[in-house]
Structure 1
Amino acid sequence: MTLFEAERVEKVFPGVRALDGVNLSLEPGSVHALLGENGAGKSTLIKVITGLYRPDGGRLLLDGQQVSFGSPHESASAGIGVVHQERNLIPGFTVGENILLQQLPTSRGLVDRTAIRSEAARWLAELDLELDPDLPVTELSVAQAQLVEIAKALSIESRVLLLDEPTASITPSEAERLFRVVGKLKDQGCAVLFVSHKLEEVFEICDTVTVLRDGASVLEGGPLSDLTRDEVVDLMVGRVHEALVLPPRTVDTTAEPLLELSGLSTATGHDGVDLAVRPGEIVGLYGLVGAGRSELAKALLGLDRITAGEVRVRGAAVRIRNVRDALKNHKIGYVSENRKEEGVFLEQSVGRNIAVTVWDRLRAGIGRLPVLRYVPKRAEADLVSDYVEHLGIRIASPAQLAGTLSGGNQQKVSLAKWLAAQTEILIIDEPTVGIDVRTKDAFHTLIWDLAANGLAILLITSDLPEMITLADRVVVMRDHRVRGEVVNSRDYDTMSQRVIRLIHAEPAPAA
């Protein structure tokens, strides 16, 4: 018997039909993949199922009975758990409080903190995650926060579990832990919906698949074993997806680095970090969750205290105070891994998001009074139009709120604002998290072209194939220290072995 069904579901936003008669069936004891490009309607469907959005048509059925959820709390109470693509942790709460938020244990009318620690530790152990339940979630990395989100969903012991890009910010070893848990849930009769742009994961753990394109179902509940990867991609994009081929690009290894770190230590725990990025070079930072890669980037931007060592930009020692100082005085941009909270202003228009870094440059004056300076609408509109076209950002108009865009388009907006500022050094943190295969290839081509045009790029990614595709050199970090560096041979098997050996400090094999 089908455990959960969505029948002919519709959802309309101003100017956009996000869902157009979508059908979905989830069986007990199975893992069902929901696939589609960014903007196809996957996250919208999940938000309809969990009560965040009211459907404009169609119906939902649980155990054959029609249901209607007015809030995520109602859907959770009915046994539907969810891990959303964007974070939904409460910053003022601890790890344990967030995990058990739906059903906080109490004793004599008061919150039982001993029980919270015990119960939260149980669900963290399911993911082999060593975190203190009393730790404030504000101290977590993005990857750790993602794993806490998963533990939170597991804690309500859902009959239906919806996973929206659950492995987007975690490493392959952490994903394997999650897949073991998913396997156990499947054996217990749970119905799991798995949304991912990583097709290798989909084929590893899923039984059936539904594919959305432009808000409509183009395949409904097909056995995944009957399909090849190319056939799935064809269904998603409407044509066979061609393998990415990047043109030759060379780096002048004798050029003076645009960005150089020497013996850098930080308050977060980095110790003696040496690193250099030359014009036209892509240097990758790779490591497991907690290695300190994103924290190092933030220290370079003045967001964490540097306690020792030196940062040099174009050969001169500098002390960067904040992100504005990094951009205005040193032409350093930062594409954050956390696009929802740091990358874009969700409640502002696409136009404002792109132009915000160059308002000073665009400002015109009225007469001789500096207080009457303003940003000409035409100049801003022309600039925004150029980057929307250049990056292929799919929007209804520049006035559209950034928060209504798909994840891939939000990431393009985040990148556009730094390109508009004419940065010369670009730090890109997890550029393709939650992005479909075609958009990912477009990002890879764009990053490659930026380097070819002379930008110095420091690339942080947990996606090893992405790292090997793009980076000229891979710097491996563990425990906030650099463990070694590998010049990229572009041979995946050789590179992955060398990188993983550095991560785990394995000795090199005898020659």
Structure 2
Amino acid sequence: MNDALVATGLSKSFPGVKALEGVNLTLRPGTVHALLGENGAGKSTLIKVITGVHAANEGVLALNGEPRTFASPVDATRAGVGVVHQERNLIPDFSVEENITLQDPPRKNGIIDRAKRTEQAAAALKSIGVDLDLKAKVQTLSVAQMQLVEIAKALVTKTKVLLLDEPTASISGSEADKLFEVVRVLRDSGTAILFVSHKLEEVFEICDTVTVLRDGVSVLESADLAEYSRSQIVELMVGRQLAALATRLRTVDRTSVPALELISLNTSLGHKNVSLDVHRGEILGLYGLVGAGRSELARTVLGLHSVLSGEVRVNGRAVKIRGVGEALNSYRIGYVTENRKEEGVFLDFTVTRNIAVTVWRRIANRFGMVRRSGEESVAAKFIDSLGIKVSGPDQLAGNLSGGNQQKVSLAKWLAAETEILIIDEPTVGVDVRTKAAFHELILDLADQGLAILLISSDLPEIVNLADNILVMNGYMVLGELENTKDYPTISRQVMGMIHDVSVGN
């Protein structure tokens, strides 16, 4: 049997940048192949070359043993190469079946054949064991369901090679398990699958073979994954051994007045009787599946949604916060959002302006003018202390990698000298080295006395960092656990809480 897809010696250059240099990749039918590397290693560029978004400067691409050149993604799709990107490519107002058949809707006498469209969409979903309402608008689906629609959309065109780019970045562990079931069904049916992820636990669970890119070069090519340990893969990705994050028990004074306290909070979004407290120097982990209401709770604390009853207290005093600005200026609360591209940074502003924006009041002169030198002084401190990789302080934030954008989002709140910091999904979509750096940074901030509410769908991350863990589901708090750093035990306790509630419903 021919290999499904073989890339040999692929190179791609952009002005001033060699994105790929002599990359080799082999995808075989009936296997799941991991493509790994840090942010900027060339993974996305390789996918874009394979699917016809970019033309390679050098190298050969072969599909089922035949040399091929794809002029566009449509060309690649028609040849049987499908791709599911991390950022979803669906039309929210269209139905599930309309989205699935969007690339090439069936026609009869020049008019879309609706009966055939329904038949094709149903067949695509059935092939991966997924049951969805074909007439439902995509905007009503969960993030995980949207991801499955993306896969069905790729399969409706008779895909034999499927490229999955960070498919689990925005979904919970249980939803990822469903996705993996689908991946296994496709693998067993003979589909060749490329799986890109920063989550190595997923890679070792689902993948058979592996290619590692570093600085645009394939440093490991189509190898048997079972022959490598996690630490060996990390070393190949970063070019050196990466020091393991020390899992340490921290001592927190919980006898003092909490920095942030919620008492029997009921909200307009449906939160019921939510109580929690975070003390200075403490990291409280807020864990739950996607849709549990964690981010919505944080946004309610910041005054972005209504409190129906109950109290929000800051340093022991009941408060009513009416917006992010008031949360910062009156109560020293900062919020590092999970949606860094739309809410965390101003993509068209410089890095300097993004960092200094929260302190304009402080650095303005008596006429209200903000001097550039003042902004630069503030920004330089945090560019250095957080290790933000920039070509210069005037680089646009939109041109930074995802990990560096996240650091800029954090820097602006640190510049404002916040005392309470809500950090929402800090490491989604960042590589292993950046993730480790973020973990160290969060621990350091807590050691300096910040009260931190950490929201994450990554349970190992919560166990690594949190002092105590609050479990949410269905906009309610299920319980609180003291974090013993014993991951297997904590995992069983957390999943037991969530399962008991699910069964009860």
Output the TM-score relative to the length of structure 2. 0.89
Q: Is the 8 A contact 1:333 1:423 kept in 2?
A: yes
- Aligned pair count reads 501
Q: What is the match of residue 52 of structure 2?
A: 51
CA distance in 2, matches of 1:67, 1:383: 52
Partner of 1:463: 458
> What letter matches 2:498 in structure 1?
I
Mean CA deviation greater in 147-156 or 468-477? 147-156
| Structure 2 residue 417 is the aligned partner of structure 1 residue 422 | yes
Aligned equivalents of 1:303 and 1:135: distance in 2?
A: 29
2:8 maps to 1:11: no
Q: Distance in 2 between matches of 1:461 and 1:126?
A: 32
Query: Quick check: 1:168–1:433 contact (8 Å CA) kept in 2?
Result: yes
- Structure 1 gaps of 5+ residues are none
Q: Which moved more, 1:204-213 or 1:320-329?
A: 320-329
Three-state SS of the structure 1 residue aligned to 2:103 is helix
Specify the SS of the correspondent of 1:241.
coil
C-alpha change, 1:304 and 1:55, in structure 2 (3 Å) is farther
Q: 2:28 — aligned with what? A: 27
Structure 2, gaps ≥5 residues long: none
The amino acid of 2:288's aligned partner reads: G
Q: Distance in 1 between matches of 2:387 and 2:181?
A: 38
Post-superposition Cα deviations, 1:79-107, rounded to whole Å, max 9, x if no partner, equal: 22222223333344455544443244567
Query: Aligned equivalents of 2:266 and 2:128: distance in 1?
Result: 31
How big is the shift at 1:448? Answer: 0.8
In the TM superposition, residue 235 of structure 1 has moved relative to its aligned partner by 0.9
Within 5 Å, give how 1:79-158 maps onto structure 2. Answer: 79-104=80-105, 136-138=137-139, 142-143=143-144, 145-158=146-159
Amino acid in structure 1 at the alignment position of 2:403: G
Q: Contact (CA 8 Å) 2:34, 2:194: kept in 1 or not? A: yes
In the TM superposition, what are the counterparts of 1:319-334 in structure 2 within 5 Å?
319-334=320-335
Q: Give the letter aligned to residue 167 of structure 1.
A: T
Relative to 1, partners in 2 of residues 1:411 and 1:101: Cα closer, same or farther, differing over 3 Å? farther
Write the distance in 2 (CA, Å) between the matches of 1:118 and 1:268.
Answer: 37
Contact 2:85 2:166 in 1 (8 A): yes
Equivalent in the alignment of 2:407: 412
* Distance in 1 of aligned mates of 2:329 and 2:146: 32
Aligned to 1:343: 344
> Structure 1 residues 42, 254: closer, same or farther in 2, change over 3 A?
same
Distance 2:289 2:488 in 1: 19
Q: Distance in 1 between matches of 2:189 and 2:213?
A: 28
SS at match of 1:505: helix
User: Is the aligned partner of 1:383 residue 2:384?
Assistant: no
Structure 1: how far apart are the matches of 2:129 and 2:354?
39
Structure 1 residue 420: Cα displacement:
2.1
Hey, what does 2:253 align to over in structure 1?
Answer: 252
Letter in 2 for 1:504: H
Residue 237 of structure 1 pairs with residue 232 of structure 2: no
Once the 2 structures are TM-superposed, how far is the Cα of residue 194 of structure 1 from its aligned partner?
A: 0.8
Tell me: CA distance 1:321–1:148, structure 2 relative to 1, closer, same or farther (3 Å): farther
Matched-pair identity in %: 60
Contact 2:8 2:61 in 1 (8 A): yes
Q: CA deviation at 1:184?
A: 1.6
Q: 1:147 to 1:309 in 2, by over 3 A?
A: farther
Q: Deviations over 1:184-219 (max 9, x none)?
A: 211222110011122222222222111111111111
Q: TM-score, normalised by structure 1?
A: 0.88
Q: Deviations over 1:445-471 (max 9, x none)?
A: 111111111111111111111111111
The answer on whether the counterparts of 1:336 and 1:342 sit within 8 Å (CA) in structure 2 is yes
CA contact (8 A) 2:128 2:185 kept: no
Cα 1:187–1:388 change in 2 (3 A) is same
Deviations 1:216-271 (A, max 9, x none): 11111112122222221111111222321156632110121222112222222211
1:60 aligned residue? 61
SS of equivalent residue, structure 2 residue 86: coil
